[in-house]
Amino acid sequence: MTYQAPIRDIMFNIEHLPPTPEAGAAGGGIELEDVGAALEALGRFCSDIVAPLSRVGDEAGARLDGTEAVLPEAYTQAYAQFAEMGWQSLPHPEEFGGMGLPRAAAAAATEILNASDLSFGLCPLLTDGAVEALLLTGSDAQKQKYLERMISGQWSGTMNLTEPQAGSDLGRVRCKAEPAADGTYAVSGTKIFITYGEHGLTENIIHLVLARTPNAPAGPKGLSLFIVPKFLVEEDGTLGRRNAVTCVSLEHKLGVRASPTAVLEYDGATGFLVGEENRGLEYMFVMMRAARFAVGVQGVAVSERACQHALQYAQERVQSRPVDGSTKDAAPIIRHPDVQRMLLRMRALTEGGRALAIATAGWLDLAKQGYTDAEDMAEFLVPLVKAFCTERSLEVTSLGVQVHGGMGFIEETGVAQFYRDARILPIYEGTTAIQANDLLGRKVLRDGGATARRFAGMVQETEQALQGGQCSGAGRGKAAGRGVPDV
């Protein structure tokens, strides 16, 4: 079966869940209908072009040909169409050719794209993060040079943090950056686990690299951020010489196999400092916040995909008479109570994750508009989106296999791939434990629990509204109080 973007539910979320109307579509002066139309068009593109890639990509994977990463040909064609249609530009500012849609709509677009194929979705996801980092920390000249063609999808972006000895602990980064007389830096060292670190989908790749200048302090406060393009960009915008960054291998992985995960060797590559020296980690956190949020959305995405497959299978697969004796013959398995329980659990976790993600997108937009309270709340919610939605995606995709019974274990049905693809989500962009330490250490303990108590207060307001009968029909009675634990 193919994937159908859940536009109705997404639009319900965008309309109702951002914390204020200004944080939703209204803030950008954009009509809800226009957001809906854009997402529907993206949904059609994803159903027709992107979703069929996932099987092909899983089977063939990305492979290294010399020093070039090669993806299945269908990916190259699909990416060209993706860029041509302007989908990369959706959330980015109009100043640089973007559509300027609010983040709730952008989150929905990220979900739709990644539900179609996580491997494909990763390339735009990393570009979004790099664009965000350059928008906030790049110089005007750097923005002029790189942003327009990244936002158009012509060039992609990467984040280069990890080294063999520096995983979660970035203070151990050793990659060096030697200043040259012309103001550039010569970047040398090995970076690993670089998603889309090398590929031929775009004509250039803009690497954002953490490295140390010669007299930098040890530890995390001695890291600087550099732009290292695969091809240097001339003053007139044309592509110049190939930079000294080489892909030396690609990882063989459990899932997202078409996404090239590169080991990159920097050998005196020309780099351009972003912002000030030794503030690289701080800048990288900008990109990481965007990427962590987006990875949480990937969790919702793969969950939705698993739900759709499981539901269809349960409607078609006929086994056993219902326990209530309502039919004489065997019935579709969706008639059996435990299959219903599994499907509802999958559906509820997916809709809960989507609701959390879209509400958080609204808080992120409010934070961008300068509300300090919203900034604190967004910081509190992002690790939840990242870790909760991705951990739960493992449960949802596992249940998706279970609903299929023995067939779920056979690759042919495609649902085993969702389970394998999802497994990276609670790991990359900061493991669940890293998110949990961030939540507890930085977002809860640091302000003595003030933001956490404000969060609890808002949850209680909603609870009181539910109990106070501000809902009707099926909502009243059923939702009010009964079985709903207190905060």
Catalytic residue ranges: 429
Taking CB under 8 A as the criterion, the residue among 345, 368, 420, 454 binding another protein is 345
Q: Return the residues of window 12-51 that contact another protein according to CB under 8 A.
A: 12-13, 15-17
Q: Supply the minimum distance, in Å, between the C-beta of residue 449 and another protein.
A: 5
Q: Return the residues of window 198-227 that contact another protein according to CB under 8 A.
A: none
- The per-type count for the chain, helices as H runs and strands as E runs, is 14, 11
How far apart CA 355 and CA 359 sit, in angstroms, is: 6
Closest CA to 106 of 432, 365, 477, 480: 365
The bridge status of strand 204-211 relative to strand 155-160 is parallel
* Angle CA 128–235–132, to nearest 5: 15
Residue position matching structure tokens 């409010």 = 366
How far apart CA 212 and CA 281 sit, in angstroms, is: 11
- Contact flag: residue 9 with another protein (CB under 8 A): yes
- Nearer to another protein among residue 274 and residue 357 (C-beta): 357
- Nearer to another protein among residue 174 and residue 453 (C-beta): 453
Is 265 in contact with 163 (CB distance < 8 Å)? Answer: no
What one-letter code names the amino acid at 94? E
Name the one range near another protein by CB under 8 A: 7-15, 46-54, 61-69, 164-172.
7-15
Binding mask 247-266 for another protein (x = CB under 8 A): --------------------
User: Which two tokens mark 367?
Assistant: 């934070």
- Contact flag: residue 349 with another protein (CB under 8 A): yes
- Contact flag: residue 5 with another protein (CB under 8 A): no
Q: Supply the minimum distance, in Å, between the C-beta of residue 385 and another protein.
A: 8
- Contact flag: residue 437 with another protein (CB under 8 A): yes
Closest CA to 277 of 326, 212, 335, 332: 212
- Helix extents (H) in 317-430: 337-368, 372-403, 415-422
Q: Return the residues of window 61-80 that contact another protein according to CB under 8 A.
A: none
According to DSSP, residue 234 is labeled -
Taking CB under 8 A as the criterion, the residue among 115, 359, 396, 425 binding another protein is 359
How far apart CA 277 and CA 221 sit, in angstroms, is: 10
Taking CB under 8 A as the criterion, the residue among 347, 365, 376, 418 binding another protein is 347
Name the one range near another protein by CB under 8 A: 78-86, 246-254, 287-295, 476-484.
476-484
- Nearer to another protein among residue 101 and residue 343 (C-beta): 343
CA-CA-CA-CA torsion sign (349, 350, 356, 360): positive
- Contact flag: residue 402 with another protein (CB under 8 A): no
How far apart CA 111 and CA 117 sit, in angstroms, is: 10
How far apart CA 17 and CA 461 sit, in angstroms, is: 15
Taking CB under 8 A as the criterion, the residue among 7, 26, 186, 355 binding another protein is 355
- Nearer to another protein among residue 180 and residue 456 (C-beta): 456
How far apart CA 443 and CA 295 sit, in angstroms, is: 19
Is 43 in contact with 4 (CB distance < 8 Å)? Answer: yes
- Nearer to another protein among residue 221 and residue 453 (C-beta): 453
Residue 441: how many other CB atoms lie within 10 Å: 10
Q: Supply the minimum distance, in Å, between the C-beta of residue 303 and another protein.
A: 12
Q: Return the residues of window 371-400 that contact another protein according to CB under 8 A.
A: 381, 383-385, 387-389, 391
Length of the chain: 487
Total number of residues that touch another protein (CB under 8 A)? 64
Q: Supply the minimum distance, in Å, between the C-beta of residue 391 and another protein.
A: 7
In the three-class reduction of DSSP (H, G, I as helix; E, B as strand; rest coil), residue 90 is classed as coil
- Contact flag: residue 53 with another protein (CB under 8 A): no
- Contact flag: residue 314 with another protein (CB under 8 A): no
- Contact flag: residue 235 with another protein (CB under 8 A): no
- Nearer to another protein among residue 6 and residue 414 (C-beta): 6
- Contact flag: residue 479 with another protein (CB under 8 A): yes
How far apart CA 124 and CA 98 sit, in angstroms, is: 14
The bridge status of strand 239-242 relative to strand 155-160 is unpaired
- Nearer to another protein among residue 41 and residue 484 (C-beta): 484
For binding to another protein (CB under 8 A), which residues are involved? Answer: 8-9, 12-13, 15-17, 341, 344-345, 347-349, 351-353, 355-356, 358-359, 381, 383-385, 387-389, 391, 432-433, 435-437, 439-441, 444-445, 448-449, 452-453, 455-456, 458-459, 462-463, 465-466, 470-476, 478-479, 483-487
